[in-house]
Structure 1
């Protein structure tokens, strides 16, 4: 779904991608962001610490120059990188993801998890590299991502299904078993995070681990 174009509408859509307390900072970022020929498309809704946000699936704005970015505050720079992690160009998404993946801000998490469900292999690798704490019991990263997934089970289930679909479509020849695919490794780390958070096994919507004869839930 292409959203109606227009400066006020686009601003509203992009501000809605972040908690309301960040509205002024988002406006500051949008003030230096080049206008796009196409409006953002297909926002997806998630909950961040009890507040609903709606993040666009893609944006089409050109990147601002470094001279325009330089005066932004630290928070504003993170917001800019989050927005451009939704860019239509995969190389742009990866470049901006690498600037935010290690962030401890809860509102950054959905931008990262959404990218886990996309098809660019280099992005999956970058996420795994930027989240080493997912494999460390009790770590801050595990708590951060576990809490988000626990609040957004349908979103994570959809992400799992997307990972399987992209593996089957694009990477099955390179990774003959789903268990060897980087997306699978990342999903297992995220599932371990939410399992630790809730204290119970989390439902699985991917092929079972090697040696496990369990079925994929319907």
Structure 2
């Protein structure tokens, strides 16, 4: 189920990282991963991963036994966790690494969600970095990227409009425009 979220050459590393994920779920829910699948294209390959996972995070206990690449894989997987604090922790760790291109879909996807702390943290980190690789990925996935931008706007409208009355100042907008390369001309290209 997780192999499709990474390039084939990472198969052994994915197996090692996934093998360390406990089979215990939050609140003992009966599902381990959601049926909803996120799909992107990267370097002419289809990348697919679950929208949510429900496995308990015990990565602190096992992460020292992993290679840098395996840690990166684990951070990507847990960025899909049902617990927002866990998502944020793993995204933060991923953004502190010299992450590889295959991690970019996970970074972009988490930023169209409703947790403002994650958007603020991501923007604070990425605004200081060269994000051309992320912008290229977003251009390769214009349709999905534009949906993500619109989804981010809907969460602003529903949850954060009172705090950010001027959408131009909203962190999500700045993240998508400055770091991910969103513009009105991209909207026109998706057609």
- Correspondence for 2:43: 49
- Correspondence for 1:161: 150
Q: How many residues align?
A: 183
The alignment's C-alpha RMSD in Å is 2.2
| Unaligned residue ranges in structure 1 (runs of 5+) | 1-12, 135-140, 205-216
Higher relative contact order structure (alpha carbons within 8 Å, sequence separation ≥ 6)? 2
Q: CA 1:28/1:156 → structure 2, altered by over 3 Å: closer, same or farther?
A: same
- Correspondence for 2:116: 121
SS in 2 for 1:44: strand
- Correspondence for 1:110: 105
- Correspondence for 2:88: 94
1:174-200: CA deviation from partner (whole Å, max 9, x where unpaired): 1112111110111111453x77xxxx9
SS in 2 for 1:52: strand
- Correspondence for 1:32: 20
| Offset of residue 132 of structure 1 | 2.5
1:38-70: CA deviation from partner (whole Å, max 9, x where unpaired): 231111110122211102110011112533221
Does structure 1 residue 16 correspond to structure 2 residue 4?
yes
Q: CA 1:51/1:152 → structure 2, altered by over 3 Å: closer, same or farther?
A: same
SS in 2 for 1:61: coil
Larger Rg over CA atoms = 1
Cα distance in 2 between the residues matched to 1:170 and 1:128? 18
Does the Cα contact within 8 Å between 2:134 and 2:180 map onto a contact in 1? no
Cα distance in 2 between the residues matched to 1:64 and 1:191? 31
Does the Cα contact within 8 Å between 1:49 and 1:106 map onto a contact in 2? no
Cα distance in 2 between the residues matched to 1:21 and 1:14? 14
Cα distance in 2 between the residues matched to 1:149 and 1:26? 24
Which structure has the highest helix share of the two?
Answer: 2
TM-score for the superposition, normalised by structure 1: 0.77
- Correspondence for 1:151: 140
| Offset of residue 142 of structure 1 | 2.7
Runs of at least 4 residues off by over 6 Å: none
Does the Cα contact within 8 Å between 2:38 and 2:48 map onto a contact in 1? yes
Q: 2:57 aligns with which of 56, 63, 76?
A: 63
